[in-house]
Amino acid sequence: MAASSHIKDPTREQRDFTGRVIGLFLLALLAIFVLLARMIHLQVADYEKYRTRSDQNRIQVQPIGPPRGLIFDRNGVLLADNQPVFTLGLVAEQIPDLDRLIAELHSLVEFDERDVEVFKKRFERRRRPFESVPLKVVLSEAEIAALAVNRFRLPGVVVEAQLVRHYPMGALMGHAIGSVRRVSEDDLKTLDPVSYSATQFIGKLGIERVYERSLHGEVGYQQVETDARGRIRKVLSVQPPVAGQNLTLQLDTNLQTAATAALGERRGAVVAIDPRTGGILALVSNPGYDPNIFVTGVSAARYKELSEDRQMPLFNRATSGQYAPGSTFKPVVALCGLSLGATNWDRTISDHGFFRLPGQARIYRDWSWTKGNSGGQGIVDLTRAIYRSSNVYFFELASRLEVNDFVKCASKFGYGRNTTVDVLDELPGRLPDPVWKRGAKGEPWYPGDTINMGVGQGDVLATPLQLATVAALIANRGHWMRPRLLLSSDQALAEWDPPPPMPDVTDLVSGSDWERLIDAMEMVVHRGNLGYQQSGTAFPYIGKDLPYRMAGKSGTAQVVGIKQGETYNEKELTEFQRKHAWFIAFAPADAPEIAVSVLVENGGGGSAFAAPVARQVIDAFLVPKLAAR
């Protein structure tokens, strides 16, 4: 400060000041250039980088779920479609107090603890911010209105429309076509996360499961502009989803209705097949259930009620019910006996009502055997053995068959395996042989086992679908058509590689052998009014006024025991211990158009209880056609 004076010098001050100002102005200019350089660096040099970053910020790709393919019956009747339902969803970010909100919603909308539990699980694993999580899937009109009125005091509550699988036929087609369920945690582990990214439902049973890939369709995408909170502001571009394929099934709703009506209140199953194509025309399991209740989630109470019902409505008897085939097995035993040279059409035996192996005490009884009456059916040849269903004839025939040869022959008819093209839920039944018996029971094969098998008892088991397949195979004189549900689709189905055709059994026996067997099966139905023990077993019940030729075979399966875990009171014990009634049939006998199997659980005799159901079903199918010709 030596240079500075102690008195003010305005002129010098002014000069100094101007110098300072010029210096500072240059400094300011420099600063502005620094700012400009920075801006040019960001906006020109790194423009691409920041442009991309800004686009990534705002542009999101969202999947759009494809609408599921529709399912029709062979006449174009809609069996499965998609309908909008209104869903109550909650958005986490907008909810101050979840428990209080749920309590408040309880007064407006009906839901139970299980719904809340499921909701909370989903709520915790939600993927995106501001994604709504469904609390209740199907809202009633009243609930929608109540929510709309109270909207202002329910922040974070959204009502959204979504397409949900719907089965217009309800319980009628429930077992026949299966159903979808909401995609579960477990499903997500195995599903393709990309193609199912916007899918709510997945086929879990029946046709819905088998053709899942084609019915599902292909996921679409939309590019959306979202703000920093994830809300959609604008849709930029859309790649629409490809709707699932529409499927037309072999099923005939009219026939399904007739078959269901024919069973009435009784537990049982009916399967009808067109033997010319293998097409399954009707697939009934009674009682059924309405699959719609499962689509959007069934209440715990309702599910408990259904699953513990002694009538077992959820159990698909037609494909999963495995029963002893009883006497319906006899035509196959006859064919195999002929094929193996163990019998012929002229050979006769004397039927005294029971059969006994030489040197053994055990008696195998005919169905007609009663205490104090050991009359039997008299002199019996193969034809009579079929139309009178003589057990003694088949005991004797089976006693002379080598079991492995016989089993090999019977398996050609589809016993013991699933021969269908697309009914993957079907269980295989069982065709026992010595190897199986040693493995399963630890016992050797006794001659008595073969004898029991000769009349379809013992360890042999079959499903109603399998027996309908056998009926169709006999109707075709040994020509195999694998049973199938699919009739046609819009385009070839990508996922389905059909199994190779089953080898025909046409040459197992001669052409005349086939005709004589079918004649004998016609006699089961049509032979009548010829005196004591001369009529076919089913004639009194269905044969008197048939306008067409039907070939059939009754069966009565013994109910061996009661399954574990089921307890019934004394009165029901007797009901559930009664025999199962079977009937298999096809018509017209000369040029069959329909083959049917009927099972009535604990129904009693096959001819009396199952045959009338079979006739009603075939009547419903054939009579209108015959009238039209």
Partner 1 sequence: MSSRDFVRSMPGGGLPGVRRLNNMHLDPLMLLALLGVIVFGLVVLFSALGRDISAFDGQVVRVVLALAIMVIAAQFEPGFYLRWTPLLYGVGMVMLVAVIFAGVTVKGSQRWLELPGLPRFQPSELMKIAVPLMVAWYFNDRPLPPRLGHLLVALALIGAPAALIAIQPDLGTGILVVAAGLAVVVLSGLQWRWMALAALAAAVAAPGLWYVMRDYQRDRVLTLFDPERDPLGAGWNIIQSTTAIGSGGVFGKGLFEGTQSNLDFLPEGQTDFIIAVVAEELGLIGVITLLMLYLMIIARGLYMATQARHTFGRLTVGSLTLTFFVYVFVNIAMVSGLLPVVGVPLPLVSYGGTSAMTLLAGFGIVMSIHTHRGW
The answer to whether residue 560 forms part of the interface with partner 1 (CB under 8 A) is: no
Distance, CA of 310 to CA of 318 (rounded, Å): 17
**CA proximity to 386, closest of 305, 427, 329:** 329
- DSSP code for 9: -
Two structure tokens written together for 492: 């070839």
Binding partner 1 by CB under 8 A: which of 81, 212, 225, 381?
A: 225
Under rule CB under 8 A, residue 544 binds partner 1: no
348-351 and 232-239: which strand pairing?
A: unpaired
> Does residue 568 belong to the site contacting partner 1 (CB under 8 A)?
no
Counting residues that bind partner 1 (by CB under 8 A) gives 45
Among the residue ranges 12-20, 67-75, 497-505, 528-536, the one whose residues contact partner 1 (CB under 8 A): 12-20
Strands 71-72 and 247-249: parallel
Q: What count of residues does the chain have?
A: 629
Per-residue binder mask for partner 1 (CB under 8 A), 603-622, x = binder: --------------------
CB of 130 to partner 1, least distance (A): 13
Interaction between residue 218 and partner 1 (CB under 8 A):
no
Tell me the catalytic residues.
Answer: 327
Cβ burial of 520 (10 Å; 0-12, 13-18, 19+) is: buried
Minimum CB–partner distance for residue 20 and partner 1 (Å): 5
CB of 32 to partner 1, least distance (A): 6
- Cβ proximity to partner 1: between 50 and 568 the closer is 50
Strands 78-91 and 71-72, by their bridges, are antiparallel
93 touches partner 1 (CB under 8 A): no
Q: Which is nearer to partner 1, 42 or 562 (CB)?
A: 42
* Minimal distance, residue 128 CB to partner 1, in Å: 15
Position among 131, 227, 443, 515 found at the interface with partner 1 (CB under 8 A): 227
User: Among 16, 131, 572, 590, which residue sits at the site for partner 1 (rule: CB under 8 A)?
Assistant: 16
Does the protein bind partner 1 through residue 1 (CB under 8 A)? yes
Comparing CB distances to partner 1, the nearer of 14 and 488 is: 14
Which residue's CB is nearer to partner 1, number 13 or number 590? 13
Which positions ≥6 away from 160 have C-beta within 8 Å? 86, 87, 89, 132
Binding marks (x or -) toward partner 1, 21..60, rule CB under 8 A? x--xx--xx-xx-xxx-xxx-xxx-xx-xxx-xxx-xx--
- Choose between 36 and 562: whose C-beta lies nearer to partner 1: 36
Nearer to partner 1, 1 or 492 (CB): 1
Coil vs helix vs strand at 556: strand
Neighbours of 357 (CB within 10 A): 16
Burial of 144 (0-12, 13-18, 19+ CB in 10 A): middle
* Sole window of 119-127, 184-192, 223-231, 531-539 interacting with partner 1 (rule: CB under 8 A): 223-231
Query: Which region among 7-15, 81-89, 91-99, 329-337 touches partner 1 (by CB under 8 A)?
Result: 7-15
Q: Is 581 within 8 Å of 608 (Cβ atoms)?
A: yes
Give me the numbers of helices (H) and strands (E) for the chain, helices first please: 23, 20
Q: Give the helix ranges, DSSP H, for 139-196.
A: 141-149, 171-177, 185-190
Closest CB to partner 1 among residues 17, 568: 17
Residue 236 contacts partner 1 per CB under 8 A? no
Residue 75 binds partner 1 (CB under 8 A): no
User: Using an 8 Å Cβ cutoff, are 535 and 527 in contact?
Assistant: yes
Buried b (16+ CB within 10 A) or exposed e, 578-609: bbbbbbbbbbbbeebbbbbbbbbbbbebbbbb
Complex with partner 1: residue 59 or 508, whichever CB lies closer: 59
Supply 246's token pair.
Answer: 């529409």
Q: Of 55 and 160, which has the nearer Cβ to partner 1?
A: 55
- DSSP E strand stretches across 167-267: 180-182, 201-203, 220-226, 232-239, 247-249
13 binds partner 1 (CB under 8 A): yes
Which helix (H) or strand (E) segment holds residue 470: the answer is helix 464-475
The reply on whether position 6 binds partner 1 by CB under 8 A is yes
Token code pair at residue 49: 């980088």
- Phi, psi (degrees; rounded to nearest 5) at 77: -75, 135
Residues forming the site for partner 1 (CB under 8 A):
1, 4-9, 13-14, 16-18, 20-21, 24-25, 28-29, 31-32, 34-36, 38-40, 42-44, 46-47, 49-51, 53-55, 57-58, 225-229, 233
